[in-house]
């Protein structure tokens, strides 16, 4: 059974991530919000610290690159047993708190500092999580230490990953990729891009595979960098792939097209990364609640969880309601990550976590701007920036509507063809 306390071995990691948010990210957050597309040089030191923690084993999964899935035979090496007596009945598998849970906990803390800066930490991109989720051991070793972005979205396909038009045609020992990709987070800065493409358009989503493409590949051209509402510290790129040749060994997962369940390998990426996006939303939500509580306290309004909401000031009652939404989203994210650590199918739970956390983040951020009044709207505090940053967390890695659709299909037992 899942244990809801932060495992003892993860507490130093959580404390370090919290310190990073407050001491490194908050002081430079406004600077890089204004200096869009300028690389935050301060992140080189942050990345070195994370790499050092991971190499020493102290990090226990300090970022997206560590999120992977336990095998059916047990958790991955380096996982730790859940807190408690450690005893289990004969034949019962021990609980595992592994790299997915630790990644969720650490990313929550860094995004309490700044989501855009977290997305810009070298070698901790969503493409790294994709490689960790589905790559072979040989591929993981070959691309260890590389920064990977992830390219899924295309013009006119929106959230329907199964409608991808970028093609991959086998030519000897290579695949030739052609198509367009937009909204690629960290696309300009990353060394690798995990590109989703189809081996056969007529077969739909079953023929979709993901490929590791080197950023300096002459067949992949940077078209533009987007100007955005929020997460402006993070670069967001658009690419054109024109006869882009990729070694066959850089196809992630099984190269065979499987009519039944063939999309599952590619979609397993989302089962690992959606809890991470939920954690990003939770971090930003936590920042908004903490800052708003602080500002209200300065005005003499203090929320008391031990008293009925109807006998407290309206602002205090609203803060308590938002805190309850935060806690619900937090528990959903922990469950989805814990299931991945324990080798349990978590597609529905990952979508639940992402949907709840994304919606809660937007609602809380906007409400906190409102509760803080003129201070919330001004640049004297980060609340207005957090409100702008929040919207993307309800969109990327699958929109709110897509998450609810995934959940509905799982609950009702419908396929994607039966419920659209």
Q: Is 397 a catalytic residue?
A: yes
- The partner residues of 151 in beta bridges, in order of sequence, read 195
Q: Catalytic residue among 23, 188, 397, 418, which?
A: 397
What's phi and psi for 338, nearest 5 deg? -60, -40
Exposure string over 219-246, b if 16+ CB within 10 A, otherwise e: bbeeeeeeebebbbbbbbbbbebeebeb
Give the whole-angstrom CA distance, residue 64 versus residue 150: 12
What's 86's DSSP letter?
Answer: -
- In whole angstroms, what is the distance from residue 387 CA to residue 74 CA? 41
In 13-138, where do the E strands start and end?
80-81, 96-97
Letter string b/e over residues 136-165, b meaning 16 or more CB atoms within 10 A of that residue's CB: eeebeeebeebbbbbbbbbeebebebeebe
Distance, CA of 37 to CA of 57 (rounded, Å):
33
3-class DSSP state for residue 346?
Answer: coil
- Residue 419 — φ and ψ, nearest 5°? -135, 105
CA angle 391, 395, 401 (to 5 degrees): 120
Closest among 205, 213, 148, 153 to 177, alpha carbons compared: 213
- Nearest in space to 275 (alpha carbons), one of 211, 326, 216, 329: 329
Which region holds residue 194: left if phi is over 0, alpha if psi is between -120 and 50, else beta? beta
Q: Which of 59, 148, 140, 71 is nearest to 103 (CA)?
A: 59
Question: Residue with structure tokens 């020992």?
Answer: 173
Q: Dihedral (C-alpha) 270, 114, 240, 267: value to the nearest 10 degrees? A: 0
Token pair belonging to 181: 């990709």
CA distance 303 to 27: 28
- Alpha-carbon span 337 to 278, nearest angstrom: 10
CB atoms within 10 A of CB 350: 31
Active site residues: 397
């Amino acid at each position: 059974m899942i244990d809801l306390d932060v495992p003892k071995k993860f507490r130093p990691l959580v404390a370090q991530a919290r310190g990073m948010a407050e001491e490194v990210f908050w002081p430079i957050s406004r600077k890089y919000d204004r200096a869009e597309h300028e690389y935050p040089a301060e992140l080189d030191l942050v990345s070195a610290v994370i790499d050092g923690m991971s190499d020493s084993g102290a990090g226990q999964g300090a970022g997206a690159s560590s999120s992977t899935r336990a095998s059916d035979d047990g958790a991955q090496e380096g996982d730790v047993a859940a807190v408690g007596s450690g005893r289990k009945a004969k034949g019962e598998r021990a609980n595992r708190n592994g790299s997915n849970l630790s990644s969720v906990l650490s990313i929550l803390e860094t995004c309490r500092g700044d989501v855009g800066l977290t997305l810009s930490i070298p070698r901790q991109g969503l493409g790294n999580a994709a490689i960790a989720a589905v790559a072979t051991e040989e591929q993981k070793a070959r691309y260890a230490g590389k920064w990977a972005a992830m390219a899924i979205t295309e013009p006119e396909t929106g959230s329907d990953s199964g409608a991808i038009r970028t093609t991959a045609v086998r030519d000897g020992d290579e695949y030739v990729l052609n198509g367009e990709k937009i909204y690629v987070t960290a696309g300009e800065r990353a060394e690798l891009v995990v590109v989703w493409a189809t081996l056969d358009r007529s077969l739909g989503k079953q023929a979709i595979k993901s490929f590791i493409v080197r950023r300096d590949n002459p067949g992949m051209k940077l078209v533009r960098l987007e100007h955005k509402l929020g997460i402006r510290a993070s670069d967001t790129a658009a690419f054109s792939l024109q006869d882009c040749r990729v070694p066959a060994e850089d196809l992630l997962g099984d190269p065979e097209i499987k009519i039944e369940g063939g999309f599952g390998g590619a979609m397993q990426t989302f089962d690992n990364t959606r809890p991470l996006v939920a954690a990003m939303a939770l971090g930003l939500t936590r920042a908004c609640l903490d800052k708003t509580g602080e500002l209200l306290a300065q005005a003499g309004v203090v929320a008391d969880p031990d008293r009925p909401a109807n006998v407290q000031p309206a602002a205090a009652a609203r803060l308590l309601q938002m805190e309850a939404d935060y806690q619900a989203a937090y528990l959903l994210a922990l469950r989805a990550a814990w299931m991945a650590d324990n080798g349990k199918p978590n597609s529905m739970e990952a979508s639940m976590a992402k949907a709840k956390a994304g919606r809660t983040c937007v609602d809380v951020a906007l409400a906190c701007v409102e509760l803080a009044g003129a201070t919330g709207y001004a640049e004297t505090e980060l609340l207005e920036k957090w409100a702008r940053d929040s919207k993307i967390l309800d969109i990327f890695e699958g929109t709110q509507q897509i998450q609810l659709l995934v959940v509905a299909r799982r609950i009702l037992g419908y396929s994607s063809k039966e419920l659209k």
